[in-house]
Amino acid sequence: MKRKITGGRLLNLTDGSLTKTEILVDDVSGVVLAIGDDLPVADEVISLQGEVLLPGFIDLHVHLREPGFEHKETIQSGARAAAAGGFTKVACMPNTNPPLDTPELVRYVRKKAIDAGAAGVLPIACITKNEAGESLTDFAALKAAGAIALSDDGKGVQDGGLMREAFVQAQKLSLPISIHAEDESIARDGVFNEGAALRLGVSIQHGESESAMIARDILLAEQTGAHLHVCHVSVEPAVALIRWAKQRGVHVTAEVTPHHLLLSEASIDRADPVYKVNPPLRSETDRQACLAGFLDGTLDVVATDHAPHSAEEKARPLSAAPFGMVGIETVFPLLYTHLVEPGLMSLQELVLRMSTKPALAFGLSGGVIRVGGPADITAVDVDTTHTIDPTKFLSKGTNTPFAGWQARGFSNLTLLQGKVIYQSREVK
């Protein structure tokens, strides 16, 4: 079927200009057939009212919880939530039950994702068997089954020798390794960053647990020539280390989450599990360093680390509640409203960091809208203000510290390969 999208404004990623234009897409070939005025008739016309047309967002770090934790999220609920957030592709982490450490499990996730018919889901497989940190998985078999990267996210690989071997093998297969950098001998199960922890009388998770492991893995990636991707950077020394590594020519990319860009430990007004996330919300100095690193490109991409948990789990006492926040349905409006509108970054730069650069970093298709390219598109409304209401999320998780915040830039329409995977009530 051919679909014509009319009434939208296409963002030019080079100069930031917005041009009112039509786009013709085909859901059989999955590509953009034409961009321009007065395009030929189509099987279906979708009329927009000035929404901005952007390449679908790509998230390199989400948790879809299947198999094993379907009460938190399913691949279907997570992929639908992603589409509502403007995402056409998400890379899901392997800390499921069982963890994604075999080709069969990787294929299971891919099949479930296709059945969901929403955002594309790209599995990241475990570095170590059962995420136990003791022996490596079969990287070649996992890649052949469709894994796009390797990670033990949720945990750091504590054994540096094992991690060195992982980089050696990943390099041969050109597979990125996404690290959850946390030295457990330093982190010691701490919950909040030092300032909030001391103020509220809870255990401290020291920032060096993150930066020390990043330093180790930069050195290992340099020696082995592997692609190191650093997850959820949150502390100033980590930003400095990644900047240094890039200057040395190490193949390193890094992500920053919306919560580490917009919140600090000063935002934690009470010992509430809604603020419990790993890595923790850090100091204002750390937040500023992450923002500066994001603006100067040291931190390449935004990733949400969408980490849904049930209301019951998040209602537990702080020490017993799980780490994690949802983010997939709110990230673009939050960053549009709090970074683009105040003039900290341009719209096209934000889109580059949410669509184009994630695609480039992991060698994925998408990230730009062009004739002949994939028809992976989202249309965002930058004029209407909405209040973030977790009860309206398509995700099963409502654990967000941004409830009640106002934002603009919510998606009204998302297409994957020319098929509509999300449409709001505003679009006819």
Tell which one of 278, 378, 399, 400 touches ligand NCD (CB under 6 A). 278
> Looking at beta carbons only, is 121 or 351 nearer to ligand NCD?
121
Indicate whether 324 belongs to the interface with ligand NCD (CB under 6 A): yes
Q: Angle at CA 301, nearest 5°, toward 76 and 314?
A: 50
> Looking at beta carbons only, is 59 or 153 nearer to Zn ion?
153
Q: Tell me the CA end-to-end span of the chain in Å, nearest whole number.
A: 17
φ and ψ at residue 147, rounded to 5 degrees: -70, 135
Least distance from ligand NCD to the Cβ atom of residue 18, Å: 35
Asked if residue 327 belongs to a known ligand binding site, the reply is no
> Looking at beta carbons only, is 180 or 243 nearer to ligand NCD?
180
Indicate whether 229 belongs to the interface with Zn ion (CB under 5 A): no
What is d(CA 83, CA 249) in angstroms, rounded to the nearest whole number? 35
Of 26, 286, 305, 381, the catalytic one is 305
Asked if residue 43 belongs to a known ligand binding site, the reply is no
Least distance from Zn ion to the Cβ atom of residue 106, Å: 19
Strand order in the sheet with 120-125: 57-62, 87-92, 120-125, 149-150, 177-179, 228-230, 252-256, 301-302
Asked if residue 260 belongs to a known ligand binding site, the reply is no
Tell which one of 26, 236, 305, 313 touches ligand NCD (CB under 6 A). 305
**What, of ligand NCD, Zn ion, none, does residue 265 touch, CB below 5 to 8 Å by kind?**
none
Contact 372, 394 (CB under 8 A): no
Q: Is 420 exposed, middle or buried (0-12, 13-18, 19+ CB in 10 A)?
A: middle
Q: Which of 412, 283, 242, 328 is nearest to 60 (CA)?
A: 328
Asked if residue 386 belongs to a known ligand binding site, the reply is no
> Looking at beta carbons only, is 52 or 307 nearer to ligand NCD?
307
Number of amino acids touching Zn ion (CB under 5 A)? 2
Tell which one of 26, 73, 153, 210 touches Zn ion (CB under 5 A). 153
Q: Which stretch binds ligand NCD (CB under 6 A): 29-37, 241-249, 318-326, 333-341?
A: 318-326
Instruction: Provide the token pair at 13.
Output: 């990623």
Cα–Cα distances in Å, from 59 out to 156, 328, 337, 405, 415? 20, 8, 19, 22, 16
305 is a catalytic site residue: yes
What is d(CA 356, CA 369) in angstroms, rounded to the nearest whole number? 10
Q: Interface residues for Zn ion in 172-211 (CB under 5 A)?
A: 180
Q: Across-strand partners of 63?
A: none
> Looking at beta carbons only, is 153 or 329 nearer to ligand NCD?
153
A 10 A CB-CB count for 371 gives: 12
Least distance from ligand NCD to the Cβ atom of residue 232, Å: 6
Maximum distance among all alpha carbons in the chain? 66
Asked if residue 63 belongs to a known ligand binding site, the reply is yes
What is d(CA 414, CA 315) in angstroms, rounded to the nearest whole number? 33
Least distance from Zn ion to the Cβ atom of residue 323, Å: 8
Asked if residue 153 belongs to a known ligand binding site, the reply is yes
Indicate whether 95 belongs to the interface with ligand NCD (CB under 6 A): yes
Q: Which stretch binds ligand NCD (CB under 6 A): 36-44, 322-330, 343-351, 360-368?
A: 322-330
Match 């297409």 to its residue by tokens: 415
Instruction: Provide the token pair at 272.
Output: 């509430």
Q: Which of 197, 166, 163, 202 is nearest to 183 (CA)?
A: 163
Indicate whether 323 belongs to the interface with ligand NCD (CB under 6 A): yes
Asked if residue 95 belongs to a known ligand binding site, the reply is yes
Q: Interface residues for ligand NCD in 153-172 (CB under 6 A)?
A: 153-154
Least distance from ligand NCD to the Cβ atom of residue 393, Å: 16
Q: Residue 220: which region, alpha, beta or left (left: phi > 0; alpha: psi -120 to 50)?
A: alpha
Tell which one of 180, 229, 243, 408 touches ligand NCD (CB under 6 A). 180
Indicate whether 277 belongs to the interface with ligand NCD (CB under 6 A): yes
Indicate whether 405 belongs to the interface with ligand NCD (CB under 6 A): no
Contacts with ligand NCD by CB under 6 A lie at 63, 95, 153-154, 180, 277-278, 305, 307, 322-324
- The residues carrying an active-site annotation are 305
